[in-house]
Amino acid sequence: MVASSKVAAGRLLLAAWFVLLALPMRAAEPRVYRDLGYGEPKNERQTLDLYAPAEGSDHPVIVWIHGGGWRQGDKAMVQHKPQAFVDKGFVFVSVNYRFVPQATVKEITGDIAKAVKWVSQHAAEYGGSPDALFVAGHSAGAHLAALVCTDERYLKAEGLPLSSIKGCIPVDTAAYDVPERAKGAGPVRAASGANVFGPDEAIQKELSPIAHIAKGKGIPPFLILHVASRPDSRAQSQAFAKTLQESGVDVNVVPAAGKTHGTINRDLGLPEDVPTKAVFQFLDRVRQK
């Protein structure tokens, strides 16, 4: 009887061990630094939160730009992302920026460039590598990420070349080509877009990432994620990717089946999430080059 109990206990321990082996590896809780100012004088809208692995140095860094229609949102809107990226050995940085109408979209993009400069200058203090910076964002944040990674003037104003960014991951935006977006949006949304970007088509073009693509500029590789069933995002993503490809830029497009504009963002970082897997495959591939 005693022997039988020991065998049963041993089987339970073995089963528990296999369950533990099947669980995804999880790093220690990240070191978190909140409300770090990247602008002068410091203000709430020009701050960032930084999540760093508990140990080590020279970790790659991803700068995340939240969405919100260029009018709202917050750097705290990160869901599963910080832990997921830290688990993969990244420093994760979430950025606040100013909003329309207090700032123009051009000035907002300047905020993003300032944040990238701050990260480049201070990454090593938090275990990150200034030579392995990636930029990503969702919705309005995806537009800002794509714009700062194609129009070199924003980073140049901060003393950085486009080549300082090693990869860009915009997630589900329909604003790669702003004039085209305004034409196909319908009267209500077109009016809203004009309020954000202004009614001048020349300015709208200037704020369009697709308008700044050219060979030999040092534009980084792109992974473009979009909701598969969203017509405007799908069309703009495909056109943007085609223009990048024609200019010799490494680009991949991943349509996310079964996602909405909200869930493609909220689910990013979950272990079995298909867009998440695509993100880490892209990052691994680019870093090995």
Tell me: the pLDDT tens digits for 81-124? 999 999 999 999 999 999 999 999 999 999 999 999 999 999 99
Whether residue 147 is contained in a domain is answered as yes
pLDDT per residue over 210-246, tens digit each? 999 999 999 999 999 999 999 999 999 999 999 999 9
The sheet that has 91-95: what strands, in order across it?
31-37, 47-52, 91-95, 59-65, 128-138, 165-171, 222-227, 251-256
Strands 91-95 and 47-52: antiparallel
Whether residue 16 is contained in a domain is answered as no
Whether residue 9 is contained in a domain is answered as no
Neighbours of 239 (CB within 10 A): 14
Whether residue 230 is contained in a domain is answered as yes
The CATH number of the domain holding residue 88 is: 3.40.50.1820
Element (H, E) at 111: helix 105-122
pLDDT per residue over 183-203, tens digit each? 865 443 444 445 799 899 999
Whether residue 40 is contained in a domain is answered as yes
The reported pTM is 0.89
Structurally, how many domains does the chain consist of?
1
The mean pLDDT of the chain is: 90
Looking at residue 192, its pLDDT comes to: 45
Residue 55 lies in domain: 27-287
Query: Taking 70 as the threshold, does the pLDDT of residue 171 lie above it?
Result: yes
Token digits of residue 133: 């910076």
Whether residue 167 is contained in a domain is answered as yes
**Which residues have CB under 8 Å from 103's CB, separation 6+?**
111
Distances (CA, A) of 56 to 33, 59, 124, 213: 16, 7, 10, 37
Whether residue 19 is contained in a domain is answered as no
Main-chain dihedrals φ then ψ at residue 241, nearest 5 degrees: -65, -40
pLDDT per residue over 115-146, tens digit each? 999 999 999 999 999 999 999 999 999 999 99
Looking at residue 42, its pLDDT comes to: 85
DSSP state of 172: S
Whether residue 4 is contained in a domain is answered as no
